[in-house]
Amino acid sequence: MTHSLAILVTALLFGGMTLYSFGFAAFLFKALPAPSAGATLRLAFPWFYLFVVATAAVAALLWWSHDTMAAIVMAAVALTTIPVRQLLMPAINRATDSDDRLRFKWLHGASVLVTLSHIALTGWILARIV
């Protein structure tokens, strides 16, 4: 039973991160003026990162008795999301507020790389079980 739950929670994490990154954010910038889209994303990102931390942590616990590697990877996803939420996201917001476009691009690029790596790692875990 816990193995099935581990798979489902990992799939939820993979789907949630993918939808948010490639669907929700892109949709907002198409549906709303850029300032409104940016403000909405600023409000949504803390919740997105909490979702990633919590879901990856639950997945890590569920994987622990079945697949140690998957558990370690999910724990790493959870743990590496915390500094992104607590440090990188506020730095991105400060760069936006001060209109420091170069700093924003670098910081945003770093957050994108972290999220893409989390998606890839989660997808890798799912692909291993097929």
Sorted by sequence, the CB contacts under 8 Å of residue 32 that are 6+ apart come out as: 40
CB contact at 8 A, 10 and 126 = yes
pTM (predicted TM-score):
0.94
Report the domain count for the chain: 1
pLDDT of residue 130: 76
What are all long-range contacts of 70-76, with beta carbons under 8 Å and residues at least 24 apart?
70/6, 70/10, 70/125, 70/128, 73/121, 73/122, 73/124, 73/125, 74/10, 74/13, 74/122, 74/125, 76/121
> Is the confidence at residue 48, as pLDDT, over 80?
yes
pLDDT per residue as tens digits for the range 6-35? 999 999 999 999 999 999 989 999 999 988
pLDDT per residue as tens digits for the range 78-109? 999 999 999 999 999 999 999 999 999 999 99
Range of the domain at 31: 2-128
